[in-house]
Amino acid sequence: MVAPSSPVQPALRVRVPAGTTAGAALREGGVPTSGPAAVVVARDAQGVLRDLSWVPDRDTEVEAVAANSPDGRSVIRHSCAHVLAQAVQQHFPGTKLGIGPPVTDGFYYDFDVERPFTPEDLADLEKAMRKIIKSGQRFSRRVLGSVSEAKRELADEPYKLELIDIKGPGSNAGLNPDEVMEVGAGELTMYDNVHPHTGDIIWSDLCRGPHVPTTRHIPAFRLMRTAAAYWRGNEQNSQLQRIYGTAWESTEALERHLELLADAQRRDHRRLGAELDLFSFPDEIGSGLPVFHPRGGTVRRVMEDYSRRRHEEAGYEFVNSPHITKAQLFEMSGHLDWYADSMFPPMHLDEELAQDGTVRKPGQDYYLKPMNCPFHNLIYRSRGRSYRELPLRLFEFGSVYRYEKSGVVHGLTRARGFTQDDAHIYCTPDQLQGEIRSLLTFVLDLLRDFGLDDFYLELSTRNDEKYVGSDEQWEQATDALRQAAEASGLELVLDPGGAAFYAPKISVQAKDALGRTWQLSTIQVDLQEPELFELEYTASDGSRQRPYMIHRALFGSIERFFGILTEHYAGAFPAWLAPVQVVGIPIADEHIEHLQQVAKALRARGIRVEVDTSDERMQKKIRTHTTQKVPFLLLAGNKDVEAGAVSFRFRDGSQVNGVAVEDAVSAITGWVARRENRSPSAAELPIGES
């Protein structure tokens, strides 16, 4: 999710004389103190964010941090989290506090509470928070003298005590500083919420700050949802109740954010899948196992056909492998050692028992395959290989099954059965670098063809707890990927420890129409499996050599990519992918015949076209097929029939009337053949040009 754009003001810097508050100096300097650009905190000369009440002990310069800046929003959100915690402890006495940091687009706070929160609780808490905000409590920073003093004050807050302990002298070992706002480097501080008139301390929390000056500087917020979360993110720890909220510099910004969420909901592929009759998840089949309906099947087939063609052109060879295998294969590949938990449990076959019930013949375990690579390795080693054959690129639309935990299954993007556009490239060490580079180009080109064009790369390196192979191998493989990634010129983000047990990887992250990023293609250099499978080729000098192996999936999974595209286009697929590309709508029955002729001409040129001959009125048909997101509607009435023409109506409501049939046909076929990803409209379609 991206923050709604806001005008970026040049940061205002002012000089703060010793003994003066940063806030006073900034006010003096004329920075806005109300509205969306109001100053909420100051950035000191070292770049550290400070409360406006901060008083430097010598003259210094500070910069105003506005409410509508990324840092400003984080501070507002963090302060809002404090208000939430105060409201919770008022409403539910005895509740223990976890942590409450700002996160992307909002904040959360974790609580150890008697019973989980209900939706009604959220409504009550929001009300209580509004009251607190309106009362204008001051956020007041107080430095604690010592660890023991802190522990005395926080004796009733076991989680905070734990944080103080973990912090230890001068280190934040094991804590993510972005998440744990409670303790900072150097000193322990409390933030007191102080009554604006009486000066009484109403509520306090261990916190490194900074905060907005008063609760009134939280202009707009909303509590979003409740959830459970493990303390310090560890499954072994107790589960706390988390409340998520969002907060913004203005009501308008909040509204924009909520609208964005609503848009995402409207684009949800699970919803569109049902509305557009693309696919479903029948309960009878099981969680995470989709069926594709004819319309979804068409889109999918077009995606696959196009991908096949591109792969063929790029020198791939097509292979096939079965969905199940004896355990032996995944023992050899190491998958059973590492990933047995996320594989479907084995089918035990061919066991024979004697009369007395003892095992006469032990039988075999068969597994559904979670990956295709071991099969491709077997194809590789089915005969002797020569260096002349390399690089050998084996491609398969391979269906795999993974036993995803029940809580993580999510539509098409996280399914238990899905089809990878999987390939394994076997090459010589000399070919590795060139192969990765051309692969990266190939991948990005193909993604662009589907209308995704905003990318960055992520390099996932070895997880030191979970890997096989030698340091040298990992270094070599990682370097090869890094070099290729750097050569691509795309932004490269590091993901330390994110690799699979057998290989480092580059993943292509793509942004969709709403600015959300999705991990799509992955490229992995694997030096382990060729060894495990004892893969070899004969080099030009007659020696036996071990090939390098590259794993790559481009869409990742067809189903997942389908889901992402559905959301990216909000169901309005580009015409070349649309399940139904053209619908003919007669004004009256007597115009059906004319449209049938047009449809015939289109169909002859490979266009997916239907004529709506139902009893409905023309207006209703337009509505129906517009909501079905058909890119081209062709209407015909008396005028059109007499002129040998049709009238275009597009998804956006624009129209071009009285187009000669021949021109209409070539305009549509041209648009589809060019694989235009834009939605056709009167302004976009070059009618009459061929």
Q: Within positions 371 to 430, which residues make up the interface with RNA, using CB under 7 A?
A: 371, 402-411, 414
- DSSP string covering 349-364: ES-EE-TTS-EEE--E
Query: Which of 92, 203, 230, 366 touches RNA (CB under 7 A)?
Result: 230
The dihedral over CA atoms of 326, 331, 335, 341, expressed in degrees to the nearest 10, equals: 70
CB 92 within 8 A of CB 76: no
The nearer residue to RNA, 191 or 367, going by C-beta atoms, is 367
Task: Measure the N-to-C terminal CA separation of the chain; round to a whole number of Å.
Answer: 41
Could you tell me the smallest distance in angstroms from the CB atom of residue 270 to RNA?
Answer: 5
Could you tell me the smallest distance in angstroms from the CB atom of residue 498 to RNA?
Answer: 7
- DSSP string covering 57-121: SS-EEEEEEETTSHHHHHHHHHHHHHHHHHHHHHHSTTPEE----EETTEEEEEEE-SS---HHH
The nearer residue to RNA, 286 or 644, going by C-beta atoms, is 286
470 binds RNA (CB under 7 A): no
Binding track over 641-670 against RNA, x by CB under 7 A: x-----x-x-x-x-x-xx------------
* 551 catalytic per annotation: yes
Query: Which of 620, 674, 686, 690 touches RNA (CB under 7 A)?
Result: 620
d(CA 216, CA 38): 12
283 binds RNA (CB under 7 A): yes
CB 558 within 8 A of CB 303: yes
* 594 catalytic per annotation: no
- 561-600 residues in contact with RNA (CB under 7 A) are 587-590
Tell me how many residues contact RNA (CB under 7 A): 75
Alpha-carbon 686 to chain mean position? 36
* 422 catalytic per annotation: yes
- Which SS3 state, helix, strand or coil, does residue 292 take? strand
Look up residue 591 and give its DSSP letter. G
* 427 catalytic per annotation: no
| Angstrom distances, CA of residue 170 to CA of 101, 121, 147, 166, 679 | 21, 39, 12, 10, 58
Could you tell me the smallest distance in angstroms from the CB atom of residue 445 to RNA?
Answer: 23
Could you tell me the smallest distance in angstroms from the CB atom of residue 587 to RNA?
Answer: 5
d(CA 229, CA 240): 5
* 511 catalytic per annotation: no
174 binds RNA (CB under 7 A): no
Could you tell me the smallest distance in angstroms from the CB atom of residue 403 to RNA?
Answer: 7
Query: Which of 616, 684, 686, 690 touches RNA (CB under 7 A)?
Result: 616
323 binds RNA (CB under 7 A): no
CB 574 within 8 A of CB 676: yes
* 620 catalytic per annotation: no
Could you tell me the smallest distance in angstroms from the CB atom of residue 146 to RNA?
Answer: 32
Query: Which of 68, 241, 461, 545 touches RNA (CB under 7 A)?
Result: 241
d(CA 47, CA 55): 16
Please list, in sequence order, all residues whose beta carbon lies within 8 angstroms of the beta carbon of residue 106, skipping any fewer than 6 positions away. 77, 224, 244, 245, 246, 247
- The H or E element spanning position 29 is none
Residue tagged active-site, from 86, 137, 241, 420: 420
Could you tell me the smallest distance in angstroms from the CB atom of residue 275 to RNA?
Answer: 7
Could you tell me the smallest distance in angstroms from the CB atom of residue 413 to RNA?
Answer: 9
Angle at 599 between CA 598 and CA 601, to 5 degrees: 65
- 254-273 residues in contact with RNA (CB under 7 A) are 270
CB 482 within 8 A of CB 498: no
Q: Which stretch binds RNA (CB under 7 A): 87-95, 236-244, 312-320, 447-455?
A: 236-244
Could you tell me the smallest distance in angstroms from the CB atom of residue 588 to RNA?
Answer: 4
- 497-536 residues in contact with RNA (CB under 7 A) are 500-502, 522, 524
636 binds RNA (CB under 7 A): yes
d(CA 244, CA 251): 18
The dihedral over CA atoms of 110, 112, 113, 118, expressed in degrees to the nearest 10, equals: 30
- 121-160 residues in contact with RNA (CB under 7 A) are none
Q: How long is the chain?
A: 690
Could you tell me the smallest distance in angstroms from the CB atom of residue 536 to RNA?
Answer: 23
Q: Which stretch binds RNA (CB under 7 A): 21-29, 201-209, 219-227, 293-301?
A: 219-227
Residue tagged active-site, from 110, 121, 421, 422: 422
- 13-72 residues in contact with RNA (CB under 7 A) are none
- 333-352 residues in contact with RNA (CB under 7 A) are 335, 338-339, 342-343
Residue tagged active-site, from 505, 560, 649, 651: 505
CB 138 within 8 A of CB 216: no
Amino acid making up residue 427: C
* 131 catalytic per annotation: no
Residue tagged active-site, from 77, 551, 591, 594: 551
d(CA 526, CA 502): 6
229 binds RNA (CB under 7 A): yes
Residue tagged active-site, from 373, 376, 473, 612: 373
Query: Which of 7, 169, 197, 235 touches RNA (CB under 7 A)?
Result: 235
Residue tagged active-site, from 424, 591, 608, 621: 424
The nearer residue to RNA, 411 or 574, going by C-beta atoms, is 411
225 binds RNA (CB under 7 A): yes
Residue tagged active-site, from 78, 242, 376, 402: 402
Closest by alpha carbon to 278, among 608, 580, 643? 580
| Locus of tokens 């720890």 | 237
173 binds RNA (CB under 7 A): no
603 binds RNA (CB under 7 A): no
Could you tell me the smallest distance in angstroms from the CB atom of residue 527 to RNA?
Answer: 14
Do the strands 609-611 and 505-511 form a parallel or antiparallel pair, or are they unpaired?
unpaired
Q: Which stretch binds RNA (CB under 7 A): 69-77, 194-202, 228-236, 471-479?
A: 228-236
Amino acid making up residue 33: T
639 binds RNA (CB under 7 A): yes
365 binds RNA (CB under 7 A): no
Query: Which of 640, 666, 669, 680 touches RNA (CB under 7 A)?
Result: 640
Do the strands 347-349 and 364-368 form a parallel or antiparallel pair, or are they unpaired?
antiparallel
CB 404 within 8 A of CB 380: no
Please state the φ and ψ torsions of residue 209, each to the nearest 5 degrees: 75, -165
Catalytic residues: 373, 402, 420, 422, 424, 505, 551
